[in-house]
Structures are given as structure tokens and as C-alpha cells.
Amino acid sequence: MRIARSGSVTPEIEEVAEAEGISPNKLRSRIATGRAIIIRNVKADGVKGLGVGQGLFTKVNVNVGTSEFVKDLNLELEKVRISKKYGADSIMDLSTGGDLDAIRRAIIKETRPLPLGTVPTYQAFIEAFRRKKGGAYFTEDELFNVVERHLKDGVDFMTIHAGITKDLGLKLIRSGRVIKIVSRGGDMILGWMLYNDSENPFYKNFDYLLEMFAEYDATISLGDALRPGDIVDALDEFHIGELINNARLARRAIEYGVQVMIEGPGHVPLHLIKTDVKLMKRLSGGVPY
């Protein structure tokens, strides 16, 4: 992003622009303002940058990953191979069972040249549960150590649930929302905040997180922890409250020079999808959503 702001068109921008059928300068301009991104950890080997954002083709992401009940790495690698065969644009490793570091590294290797994403909160939660018999027992340092491990391994983008604050979480559990929360990573962060009586570590330490991602030019995908799990809850105060927080965080990331996109929108009635997208685009300044 910082190179794009300087006015330079890199070979990677040229490559993605050609694949997307737009001019390199137009893509460079959109990257410079945060309206488009190229997903790629610059310190990773063998990965081809993936363009996402305004005026670019729709991309298909495929989720794979083990669980505590099914820990067959070969099965997950076969899922990756099938996904690549049928045209997936990116892969996410959402593993929660087995040797998570070894599984991630194997999936990264099989995924290339596609970019790979993760949700680091999962690993922090699982490791705390294994060591201390409680998923919410991880420390802030342990959480950020997992993020750093993923970046060093070559992870290209991560879902970071930074927009759910302690205040929103406390209001949520006392609310009449039909389905309080459906995001697994968001639920883990909410549980951590309630157990530790502390602010969301991603929200509180967002500048530090930006420093980490800037070093690798990796992409932050701001997670929608409070996305509606049913259409009744769509565009309620929690859905909108997190949208506003994520938009603010996205603007901070862009100002710092870190590529960012925002997850969403969850279960929204068909006639309100356009409203939801337009709202987020306006709040964030056009960040990929």
C-alpha cells in the first residue's frame, strides 16, 4: 500500500491488473486509497497475489480445517487439492484439532500458489484450553504470539475480531437479541473479555497489530463477531455498532498503510443487503466488504 501511495506501479500490481482486466494505474490508485487490496504476505514463498475490491472480480474462498473429532491432515490436504482443481481463489485453515502449527504449515504448502488465511484466536483459545483447562485463560501476549507465528509461517490474511468491544459484549448478553452470537472467533473473544473483565486485546492494541501486519504486508480481515445469526436481528444495534467500530479500525489501518478488508454481513433479508453494503462502504470509505 505504501509503495502504491508513492505513485509506483509494482510488477505485482501489473500482474493483478492484467488478470483483472483493468489498467495498472487504476488498480494502484485504488490500493493507495484502500478500495482494493492485493492479498499476499511479502515474506512468503510461492504465493501469487490476489486482488480483492472495487472493480475486481468476485473471489471464492474455501474453508478447510481439522476439529477435535476429525484430525486427519490428509483429508484436509485433499480438500485443498479439490478446491484448487475447481477454481478456488483462496483457502482458509480453520483447524482446531491436532498439532495446529504442523497442520497449518502443511496446508500452506499444499495451498500455494493461492493465498492462505487463518483465525489466530482459534489457536490461542485451543492452546489455553489444553494447557490450563480453559479457553479464556490465554494472555494478551500469548494471543499476539500466535499472530506472529502465523505471519512468520507465511499466512497472507487473518480474520481479526477487533470490532467487538467489552461495552458491546456486556450489552449483548443482557439484550433481547434472538441469537446472541454465531461467530466462533467472536464468541471466543467475548468469553475472554467477560472472564478477564478486560477490553478486547485486538481493539485495545490495534496499533501494535498494525505494526505486525505492516512488516509482512499481510492483510487484516476485520471479523464480524456480531453479525446477525437470523434475519430478525439484522441491522440491530449490535450489528450496526460493530460495523461502525470496524469502519473506524479500517480507516486506521489504511492511514497506517496496512491492507484491510471487512467481513459481513451475516443473515440479512434480501431487501436490506444493498442497504448494509452501502452503509459499510460509506462508513469505511470503500474498503472491500
Degrees (nearest 5) of the Cα angle 188, 253, 113?
75
pLDDT of residue 230: 98
12 belongs to a structural domain: no
Q: Which residue segment(s) compose the domain that 127 sits in?
A: 64-284
Q: What is the three-class DSSP state of 91?
A: strand
Which amino acid makes up residue 261?
M
Number of folded domains that form the chain: 1
pLDDT of 123: 99
Residues of the chain with pLDDT under 50: none
Residue 279 lies in a domain: yes
Which tens digit of pLDDT belongs to each residue from 105-135? 999 999 999 999 999 999 999 999 999 999 9
pLDDT confidence of residue 21: 97
Has residue 165 been placed in a domain? yes
pLDDT score of 2: 86
- 90: phi then psi, degrees, rounded to nearest 5: -155, 165
H-helix segments, the chain? 2-5, 11-20, 24-32, 73-85, 100-111, 120-132, 140-153, 166-173, 184-196, 201-204, 206-216, 237-256, 270-284
108 domain-assigned: yes
For residue range 62-77, what is the model confidence (pLDDT) as tens digits?
999 999 999 999 999 9
User: Is there a domain that residue 78 lies in?
Assistant: yes
How far is the C-alpha of 244 from the C-alpha of 236, rounded, in Å?
12
10 Å CB burial of residue 163 (0-12, 13-18, 19+) is: buried
Q: What is the pLDDT of residue 207?
A: 98
pLDDT of residue 90: 99
Q: What is the CATH number for 128?
A: 3.20.20.540
